[in-house]
């Protein structure tokens, strides 16, 4: 199969067109979280620590990313770690820390769910449920998410083809949950100079072939702070609908992914540079719509 949804081999549902296909909703899907809209003209930035480590770290990061203009707070409390001896996340107490930090700065939350059994707990605190790269083909989890009416951020598996990524999204849509955001986070290739290889062509292709919002994670895609800003700006130029970026106030002390964390200062610099690139694409950073009477009075 060529990778084009709707062609032979896609396992097409009843109507003959996969639900992820652009033809299903040519105008594009917009996913709402609180006031924020992902997939419209506004570009949405999600930022925060890889892992929630405690109240002070989470609140400091939340305050920093919010004041730099981020729209959604990220933070993992269930961490899929390569080694069973690495920090596995704070679990349930971490969710309360994350929720409190987000409430103080008024941002919605994106956080990773590793298992369907965690959903009842997470549903109460989290606005966007992230499916990590390692779980992209956890079909039981995808089916469970299909039953919810809550946005899902679906990361591309590290060895998943474009087609496999879209079919994973299809599982969630087929269950009736249409609030899916695709996230390109780099794939594993022969190249070892960067943590992964960022497939920006897949971002532009996903925008053409599907109606779903597509965002980019330059943190896991590169694993290297110096490469995050250039790849974030390139993602904006490639037509992504947003970014998800890891930020830590003291990267050298981070319990997870500190080597790729941006400091708050570097994150703020990126936020200042994004509007220039977005402007060239006739887009802008997402901002709340002003009520008609305010717009009229300007
Ligand atoms: C993460 O967001 O911290 C994470 C584990 O990402 P990925 O699933 O893309 O590796
Ligand atoms: Mn991480």
pLDDT in tens, 128-143: 999 999 999 999 999 9
- Average the pLDDT over 156-175 and give the result: 98
pLDDT confidence of residue 292: 75
H or E element at residue 183: strand 180-184
Between the CA of 191 and the centroid of ligand 2 the distance, in Å, is: 20
- Quick one: three-class SS letters along 132-160? CHHHCCCHHHHHHHHCCCCCEEEECCCCC
Q: In this structure, are strands 42-48 and 242-246 parallel, antiparallel, or unpaired? A: parallel
Between the CA of 132 and the centroid of ligand 1 the distance, in Å, is: 5
Which of the ligands is closest to the CA of residue 223? 2
Between the CA of 67 and the centroid of ligand 1 the distance, in Å, is: 24
CA–CA dist 49, 253 (Å, integer): 12
Residue 260 and residue 269 in contact, taking contact as beta carbons nearer than 8 Å: no
Please report the atom of ligand 1 found closest to the CA of residue 80: 5
H-type alpha helices, the chain: 55-68, 92-105, 119-125, 139-146, 162-174, 200-209, 218-222, 225-237, 264-280, 292-297
Residue 177 and residue 147 in contact, taking contact as beta carbons nearer than 8 Å: yes
Atom 9 in ligand 1: which residue has the minimum CA distance?
133
pLDDT confidence of residue 77: 98
CA–CA dist 112, 92 (Å, integer): 12
Please report the atom of ligand 1 found closest to the CA of residue 185: 9
CA–CA dist 110, 106 (Å, integer): 13
CA–CA dist 281, 216 (Å, integer): 16
Mean per-residue pLDDT over the chain, rounded: 94
Domains parsed from the chain with CATH numbers: 47-52+92-287 (3.20.20.70)
Atom 10 in ligand 1: which residue has the minimum CA distance?
133
Between the CA of 58 and the centroid of ligand 2 the distance, in Å, is: 15
pLDDT per residue as tens digits for the range 27-83: 999 999 999 999 999 999 999 999 999 999 999 999 999 999 999 999 999 999 999
**Cβ < 6 A, ligand 1 pocket:** 50, 76, 80, 132-134, 155, 185, 217, 220
pLDDT per residue as tens digits for the range 185-230: 999 999 999 999 999 999 999 999 999 999 999 999 999 999 999 9
Residues 6 or more apart from 253 whose CB is under 8 A from it? Answer: none
């Amino acid at each position: 199969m060529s990778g084009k949804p709707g062609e032979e081999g896609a396992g097409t549902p009843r109507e003959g067109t996969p639900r992820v296909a652009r033809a299903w909703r040519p105008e594009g899907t917009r996913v709402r979280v609180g006031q924020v809209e992902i997939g419209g003209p506004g570009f949405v930035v999600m930022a925060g620590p890889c892992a929630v480590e405690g109240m002070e770290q989470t609140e400091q990061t939340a305050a920093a990313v919010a004041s730099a203009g981020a729209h959604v707070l990220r933070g993992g409390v269930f961490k899929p770690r390569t080694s069973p001896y690495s920090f596995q996340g704070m679990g349930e107490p971490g969710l309360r820390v994350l929720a409190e930090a987000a409430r103080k700065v008024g941002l919605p939350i994106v956080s990773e769910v590793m298992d369907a059994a965690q959903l009842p707990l997470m549903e109460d605190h989290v606005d966007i449920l992230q499916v990590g790269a390692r779980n992209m083909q956890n079909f039981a989890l995808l089916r469970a998410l299909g039953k919810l009416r809550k946005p899902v951020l679906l990361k591309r598996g590290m060895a998943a083809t474009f087609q496999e990524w879209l079919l994973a999204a299809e599982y969630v849509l087929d269950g009736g949950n249409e609030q899916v955001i695709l996230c390109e986070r780099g794939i594993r290739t022969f190249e070892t100079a960067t943590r992964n290889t960022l497939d920006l062509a897949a971002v532009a292709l996903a925008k053409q072939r599907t109606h779903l919002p597509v965002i980019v994670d330059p943190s896991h895609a590169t694993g290297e702070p110096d490469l995050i800003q250039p790849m974030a700006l390139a993602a904006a130029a490639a037509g992504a609908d947003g970014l998800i970026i890891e930020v830590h106030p003291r990267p050298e002390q981070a319990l997870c992914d500190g080597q790729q964390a941006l400091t708050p200062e570097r994150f703020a610099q990126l936020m200042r540079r994004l509007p220039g690139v977005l402007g060239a694409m006739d887009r802008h950073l997402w901002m709340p719509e002003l009520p008609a009477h305010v717009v009229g009075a300007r």
